[in-house]
Amino acid sequence: MNVVINGQHSAVPDGITVATLLELNDLAERACAVEINRTLVPKRDHDSRVIEDGDAIELVTLVGGG
Amino acid sequence: MTTETMEPGISTLTVGSRTLSSRLIVGTGKYADFNVMRQALDASGAHAITVAVRRERLYNDQGESLLDHIDLDRYTILPNTAGCFEADDAIRVARLGRELLEQLGNPGASWVKLEVLADKKTLLPDPVGTLEACRELVADGFEVLCYTSDDPVMASRLKAAGATSVMPAGSPIGSGQGLLNRNNIAIILETLKDGDPDYPVIVDAGVGCASDVTIAMETGADGVLLNTGIAHAKDPVMMAHAMRHACSSGRQSCLSGRIPRKLYATASSPWEGTISYIPGE
């Protein structure tokens, strides 16, 4: 299925969870916050939240800032 | 405990649920490399440091991560909403920042440095968006440290909206112009602390050099937040030392009470017993 991850179109396996998406992107062990369709998906829901076709996903972390 | 903290007048700063050992809050952006950043943070003596929330770089070389170079047990991380021009976006970013800091187990998770900006050129705050986002985030349980202009009326509105700390800009972000309107900062301090003397007002943005920090603290600010003034100095680590001392100096100078300004001179040495000719006598 097709989704948008961090503003870029991307194909991901059907029916995967947020947790699986993070694993596929080598982010499972890192601090990473997830938003789907402009709504936060807290870490406690990563295993259960299933990604759907057309979802707009943001995967964010902390960077230097003032 | 360092010698610094034992000096008179140098006390902790409480902002909402957190008490900081330093009144200087510094940013982590714009450093040439993480090694210099780490040394500068250390030299600044800061207890709280600011960070930004950004997309993971999924399609590029990920390189080093900021989080690999920050001691999360030492610093309280203050996530900002920099780069947001709409209240809704700032609220989203604040929630993402909280989620990240909860994952990391850092006490800064309850905090957000709220910025809702008007445009990229001035980086001035959008007062309407800032107030709207502040209300929403306070309702969502955040302790909002709110970046704003030096407008005393806006500062009062933000405090009334529940901001944990109001943080007026000395001058535009990264401009290095220092405090352009010290009178407004003084009015903000007087207004927000009226009947609430411990309410924290932190001068945020525009610091170019150590004396700017001292002036802010001498004016009565509870703290100063800065980034570029250290990160873009020719020697960021030495400037971080200077900023730390400047913050302490300004605090002590404020508390100890300056002498009144006078138009004419007042001799420090006694006139009595002088052997010389004195004009007019």
Q: Which residues of B touch A5 (CB under 8 A)?
A: 58
Domains annotated on chain A, with CATH = 2-60 (3.10.20.30)
Please give the Cα distance from B149 to B131 (Å, whole number). 12
Specify the 3-state DSSP secondary structure of B205: coil
To the question of pTM greater than 0.80 for the whole model, the response is yes
Q: Is the pLDDT of residue B30 over 80?
A: yes
For B111-154, the pLDDT digits (tens) are 999 999 999 999 999 999 999 999 999 999 999 999 999 999 99
List beta partners, residue A57. A5, A36
Give Cα separations from B109 to B32, B98, B104, B229, B255 (angstroms).
27, 5, 9, 26, 32
Specify the 3-state DSSP secondary structure of B261: coil
Region B45-59: mean pLDDT is: 91
Question: What pLDDT score does B1 carry?
Answer: 46
Q: Does A50 touch chain B (CB under 8 A)?
A: no
DSSP string, B16-78: TTEEES-SEEEE--S-S-HHHHHHHHHHHT-SEEEEEEEE--TTS-----GGGGS-TTT-EEE
* ipTM entry: 0.96
Count how many pairs of residues, chain A against chain B, have C-beta atoms within 8 Å.
Answer: 104
Please give the Cα distance from B205 to A31 (Å, whole number). 28
Average pLDDT, rounded, for chain B? 94
Side chain identity, residue A23: E
For B229-279, the pLDDT digits (tens) are 999 999 999 999 999 999 999 999 999 999 999 999 999 999 999 999 999
Return the closest-CA partner of residue B219 out of B249, B182, B256: B182
For A8-64, the pLDDT digits (tens) are 999 999 999 999 999 999 999 999 999 999 999 999 999 999 999 999 999 999 999
Please give the Cα distance from B280 to B91 (Å, whole number). 70
Region B183-198: mean pLDDT is: 98
Structure tokens at B159: 């405090």
- Judge contact between B182 and B188, C-beta under 8 A: no
Q: Any catalytic annotation for residue B193?
A: no
Confidence of residue B58 (pLDDT cuts 50, 70, 90): low
Q: Tell me the backbone φ, ψ of residue A34, rounded to 5 degrees.
A: -125, 135
Average pLDDT, rounded, for chain A? 96
Q: Is the pLDDT of residue B60 over 80?
A: no
Q: Which segments of B105-149 does DSSP mark as H helices, in order?
A: 127-139
Q: Does A9 touch chain B (CB under 8 A)?
A: no
Specify the 3-state DSSP secondary structure of B249: helix
Give Cα separations from B221 to B13, B55, B103, B185, B260 (angstroms).
11, 34, 33, 8, 20
Structure tokens at B96: 């993402």
Comparing CB atoms, the residue among B54, B59, B103 nearest residue A31 is B103
Inter-chain residue contact A43 with B59, CB threshold 8 Å: no
Inter-chain residue contact A43 with B102, CB threshold 8 Å: yes
Q: Does A40 touch chain B (CB under 8 A)?
A: yes
For B67-91, the pLDDT digits (tens) are 999 999 999 999 999 999 999 999 9
Confidence of residue B61 (pLDDT cuts 50, 70, 90): low
Domains annotated on chain B, with CATH = 17-56+65-256 (3.20.20.70)
Closest-CA distance, A30 to chain B, in angstroms, reads 9
Closest-CA distance, B64 to chain A, in angstroms, reads 10
Confidence of residue B62 (pLDDT cuts 50, 70, 90): low
Region B154-161: mean pLDDT is: 98
Please give the Cα distance from B135 to A18 (Å, whole number). 31
Region B147-166: mean pLDDT is: 98
Contacts of A44 (CB under 8 A, 6+ apart): none
Region B148-162: mean pLDDT is: 98
Question: Would you tell me how many other CB atoms lie within 10 Å of the CB of residue B118?
Answer: 16
